[in-house]
Amino acid sequence: MQDLQEIIKEIKIQKTFYSKEKKRLKEEISKLPRGTIQKKVISNKPYYYLLYRNKGKIVNEYLGKSAPKKLEEQIAERKHLQKELKPVNEALKILNKLKV
């Protein structure tokens, strides 16, 4: 019986950890810009656009003749954080099925 209580305690600790991690990742993701940067070549000149969805529609936002490095880094960071979030969500899904 003691072992079962220890297992239940450990599951609760894991749920708390993953819940906090999910919240942290979502907060960080929400601070970063959405979308991707697209390069279009018109008359042999490059033009950069930020593409993202807004209320179901695709928005093309003109960035200029060169892509801002800071924006590229922020978008890469967002994608990285989204990849980190997937296993956290999967772990929470499994832990929630245990109904502890």
Residue ranges covered by each domain of the chain: 11-97
Query: How far apart are alpha carbons 22 and 88 in whole angstroms?
Result: 6
pLDDT band at 1 (very low <50, low <70, confident <90, very high): low
Tokens of 34: 């959405």
Query: How far apart are alpha carbons 90 and 49 in whole angstroms?
Result: 34
Over the stretch 25-80, which tens digit does the pLDDT of each residue have? 999 999 999 999 999 999 999 999 999 999 999 999 999 998 899 999 999 999 99
Structure letter (DSSP) for residue 37: E
Quick one: pLDDT at residue 84?
Answer: 96
pTM, 2 dp: 0.79
